[in-house]
Structure 1
Amino acid sequence: MEPLPSHVFPATSKADWLAQVRKELKDEFADESLRWTIDPVAPDNGLTVDAYYTADDLTGLPLATIQEAQHQTNRVGWLNAPEYHITDPASQSVTLRDALTRGADALLLSLPEDVSQTDGNLARLLHGIKLSDTPVYFRLSGSPVPFLNSLRPMAPYQLKGGLLATASVEEIVEATRLTADSPQFRTISIGSHDFHNAGASAVQELAFTLARLADQYKALLAAGLSLDQLAARTLLSVSVGTSYFVEIAKLRALRVLWLRQMATYADTGFPGPLLLAQTSTFYDAAVTPYTNLLRATTEAMAAVIGGCNVLTVHPYDTVLKAPGEFSERIARNVSILLKEESYLDRVADPAAGSYYIETLTHQLAGQAWSLFGQVQAMGGFQTAMETGFVQAEIDRAYQAKVEAVRGGKVLVGVTKFRFDDDTTAEAAAPPAGLPRSTGLPDRRLAAEFEQPYQ
């Protein structure tokens, strides 16, 4: 079939489209009413979203810089890493090995101190798992140094995975030294989960994560680690929420911001950080809990299109109770479906070239960098926390989210399409295992709207 002549469908610009909108609606400002604001508490009065994007919107964007940042680490595919909260090492060892035969590529293990610091418990838990082949990410409640001393006899070299621990500078330096022969084991971890679960906006989550990272890097450089060590050993652990396009852009913007921050130290190419994305518990509901499956699927898809290297999908009943075999299997299969049926692991940067997502990535990075600059001007993240600035900003964002729901924004299964029964009316338990060193509140947006219907 021959293509139609160009005169049948002439090319049109965005300006032509806007002119037609104004003509049809008989209002020279009609296009203004079609815009809306997301992240309304961002420092530059929120992110403005147009109703329509074209290639014209990419003019003037630093596309090469944005897209280069997405290729700093291996971006083709991701590791499916279910999370397990360890309470019984011997019996859960069987569960871990079973997961690895049923689609898991890696593991995220939240360890209490009696497991992480006890050789026998650790050996029972990891029995049959070859740590030089299977990446394992350990979320620790205690010091990483005794843990690594217990771990090394089980895997004397080439560990894969990393540590998610709240540790002192000295402990991080020592952990990096102890794993010098394991370049694929990350010892410097920075998380956004406490910001996210307190209700932060996407801009705040990016800016405060970057500020926390800047404090950490400054201290580690002063303690003797090199820039190359920082770059190669950094793991960024990020929560991914339900705002699909915003979350895609958030992860892409995080890579841009990390690269921009590294450029302040040296004008040299560095391998990018490992990005571990976890589906959000902030947006989960305790009522009509199966709707959390929809949220987790949206969040997981946003995470992989946004470029995560490792993906943890939380079971739909995480905020209700300890997940069971069924909910764990369904969560693990979300990631498998995105690979085996959607083929999202076949493309290095699926969002590249999208008029909307590229624009949104640039906006998020710009506003987050501006807020990050405010924090740095105060003396850094720790000072901003001590003065209450971070807490006040996040509280403002959380209240804006609550007011949006009160104003009619739908929470599926909570404020609309809701089904209450004896099993879903239980009060939600807070998720365990996430580091909460800042003392920020651990919230769920749905909690204020889950009272039983009268």
Structure 2
Amino acid sequence: MTVLPDDGLSLAAEFPAATHAQWQRLVAGVLSRSGKDVPETEAEDALSTALEDGLRARPLYAAADGVPDAGFPGFAPFVRSGRAEGNTAGGWDVRQRHTVADPEAVLTDLENGVTSLWVAVGDWGVPVDALDRVLRDVYLDLAPVVLDAGHETAAAAEELLALYARRGVAAGAARGNLGADPLGTEARTGSAYDGDGYPVAVGLARRCAETYPGLRALTVDALPYHEAGGSAAQELGCSLATGVAYLRALTDAGLSVERALGQLEFRYAATADQFLTVAKLRAARRLWARVAEACGAPAAGAQLQHAVTSPVMMTARDPWVNMLRTTVATLAAGVGGADSVTVHPFDHALGLPDSFSRRIARNTSSILIEESHLSRVIDPAGGSWYVETLTDELAGAAWEFFQRIEGLGGQAAALRSGRLGQDLAETWEARSGKLAKRREPVTGVSEFPHLAEKPVVREPAPAEPTGGLPRVRRDEAYEALRARSDAHLAATGSRPRVYLAALGPAAAHTARLTFAANLFQAGGVEPVTEGSFEDSGATEVCLCSSDALYEEQAESEVAALRAAGARHVFLAGRPGSYPGVDSYVFAGCDAVAVLSATLDRMGAS
């Protein structure tokens, strides 16, 4: 039997430790061979990726970067978790949203892995007087209920509390959240339902604090700011400003800081950018702990978090891909330590989910908890130098944005002045530019679209609230283009077409032909690659080949295509001075602008 030495097996013991400077020197050498001559000290910056909020993802992180101590789970600053046990006691709370009066769907969810209910009530959901029927088969002492009632919060809360009484649920057994969120509702609708000092929310908080210890009264919903195109730091900053506004109102009404903190639950978006989502949830807990510390109650600063898979990332085209997006987002929410997670069904952007999509949504959490054992470890990303650094930098950017809002007079003032909406719009405009240029790809929409896809049809969902901040989606510009193509197909029997003229052998043209076909399909323009231009039924053509063959053949090929009736000639490649070429398509071009102009010329209105 081999006995290992006491100090274990040191595989690198005989090698000198590598230094950061050595790594930079090697990177600079590789960049130099690729045609990018940069000084060794700038090599790292050359490989960095720009993120929103002025952040950058670097190619290398090390212990020397130095970040604030994350502490221990369940203790301030709560970065690692708001509870000492994290989600190890059975996983996170699987919370599914219901917007229609369908008690069978509610019961099916609860019987198959869902552990709490998020019910939209009022104008954009279940009628208040139908709440009893929707929850008829629910054991209210076992399944927490979270309301989202907007302007009808007072009536919905009274109905739920009365329902507890009628069902004989002990006050101490009621759990969930009454969903009072005056500022969130104002952000969505443009109008307030609660007066100065938020008397409705404060009144409900008093009742919960005095009578229902397991029930919270207020939700700090950051989704309106995320759905308006806000960045992660803006979403966090708005949540802090909203939470602080509610704390002021509650303490002014006589609640202690500790009891006021215990009446709030925070809701954030989880996106398919998994590391940013993990960092956002961790940063949110750090920031709220700082607020609690400033208020004199550091031990009560554990933030209760509800993560919701982002509606912004959901697509109407190729909706099946949304299953992958929500899986990554749910994983990130779990790793980030969310207490509750809602997975939107893959057909969320199309209307009401069917039984299959609801099943897939709830099973997403079940697989990650039960089969992937994601909840067995508290804060599994903790200790990663990248995640710790990103958490710290994001927290700094969010705190700065929060201070800007406070400088404007607080969340309500920032909303009503229009300044907050302007900030969010500027962020979305910058992101829209990346989407248009496909720097931020959307699989199934701007990349690898499928024109022959059979449409997925769903019943219309209740109308979303309007009048406040806008709602955006990553696919909206391409969806508008595809809708024009669909209308052209319905009117003429065929889609707009473009002929792809491949020059030379496959090795010369395949890459650019594939690129061009992908780009044109993103706008609903059907690429034709077989046969001749004359037989294609197209009026526009795109040359696809290598730069060398363009120099030899492009001019003559363009002349021949013009003679055959081509009205517009594209060339797949960087802009040059080829005679007869009207425009160029290349990586980084404004695909939305190119495709919109193409559809205009083809008469697809």
Q: In the TM superposition, what whole-angstrom CA distance separates every residue of 1:322-345 from its partner, at most 9, and x where no partner exists?
A: 110001100111010110111111
Cα distance in 1 for partners of 2:297, 2:131 equals: 42
Q: Is the 8 A contact 2:122 2:150 kept in 1?
A: yes
- Residue number among 372, 377, 382 corresponding to 1:347 in the alignment: 377
Q: In the TM superposition, what whole-angstrom CA distance separates every residue of 1:163-193 from its partner, at most 9, and x where no partner exists?
A: 2244432111221233333222121111111
**Sequence identity of aligned pairs in percent?**
29
| Partner-residue secondary structure (3-state), 1:64 | coil
Cα distance in 2 for partners of 1:193, 1:213 equals: 14
Cα distance in 2 for partners of 1:173, 1:357 equals: 37
Cα distance in 1 for partners of 2:286, 2:460 equals: 36
Stretches of structure 2 that go unaligned for 5 or more consecutive residues are: 33-38, 166-170, 183-193, 483-523, 526-605
Q: In the TM superposition, what whole-angstrom CA distance separates every residue of 1:108-140 from its partner, at most 9, and x where no partner exists?
A: 11122695532xx32222123121211111111
Give, in angstroms, the shift of residue 358 of structure 1.
0.5
1:64 correspondence with 2:78: no
- Residue number among 286, 298, 318 corresponding to 2:348 in the alignment: 318
| Partner-residue secondary structure (3-state), 2:262 | helix
Give the letter aligned to residue 126 of structure 1. Answer: L
1:96 correspondence with 2:91: no
Q: CA RMSD in A?
A: 2.5
Summarize the alignment of residues 275-290 of structure 1 with structure 2, pairs less than 5 Å apart. Answer: 275-290=305-320
Give, in angstroms, the shift of residue 23 of structure 1.
4.8
Q: 1:36 matched to which residue of 2?
A: 49
1:229 correspondence with 2:259: yes
Q: 1:303 matched to which residue of 2?
A: 333
1:160 correspondence with 2:175: yes
- Structure number with the bigger relative contact order (C-alpha 8 A, sep ≥ 6) is 1
- Residue number among 415, 423, 432 corresponding to 2:446 in the alignment: 415
Give the letter aligned to residue 472 of structure 2. Answer: R
- Residue number among 169, 175, 189 corresponding to 2:204 in the alignment: 175
Q: What TM-score results when the alignment is normalised by the length of structure 1?
A: 0.90
| Partner-residue secondary structure (3-state), 1:210 | helix
Cα distance in 2 for partners of 1:400, 1:127 equals: 47
The 1:278/1:432 distance shift into structure 2, 3 A limit, reads farther
Q: Is the 8 A contact 1:286 1:426 kept in 2?
A: no
Q: 2:156 matched to which residue of 1?
A: 147
Give, in angstroms, the shift of residue 426 of structure 1.
7.6
1:191 correspondence with 2:198: no
Worse overlay, 150-159 or 252-261: 150-159
Q: 1:357 matched to which residue of 2?
A: 387
Worse overlay, 321-330 or 74-83: 74-83
Q: 2:276 matched to which residue of 1?
A: 246
Q: Is the 8 A contact 1:318 1:431 kept in 2?
A: no
Q: In the TM superposition, what whole-angstrom CA distance separates every residue of 1:33-57 from its partner, at most 9, and x where no partner exists?
A: 1112100xx2xxx101110112222
Give the letter aligned to residue 140 of structure 2. Answer: L
Q: Is the 8 A contact 1:79 1:311 kept in 2?
A: yes
Q: Is the 8 A contact 1:115 1:122 kept in 2?
A: yes
Report how many aligned residue pairs link the two structures: 440
The 1:63/1:70 distance shift into structure 2, 3 A limit, reads closer
Which of the two has higher C-alpha Rg? 2
Q: In the TM superposition, what whole-angstrom CA distance separates every residue of 1:386-412 from its partner, at most 9, and x where no partner exists?
A: 332211111111111110122222110
- Residue number among 63, 85, 100 corresponding to 1:55 in the alignment: 63
Stretches of structure 1 that go unaligned for 5 or more consecutive residues are: none
The 1:427/1:365 distance shift into structure 2, 3 A limit, reads same
| Partner-residue secondary structure (3-state), 2:246 | helix
Cα distance in 2 for partners of 1:98, 1:173 equals: 35
Cα distance in 2 for partners of 1:427, 1:78 equals: 30
The 1:60/1:140 distance shift into structure 2, 3 A limit, reads closer
Q: 1:124 matched to which residue of 2?
A: 133
Q: 1:82 matched to which residue of 2?
A: 96
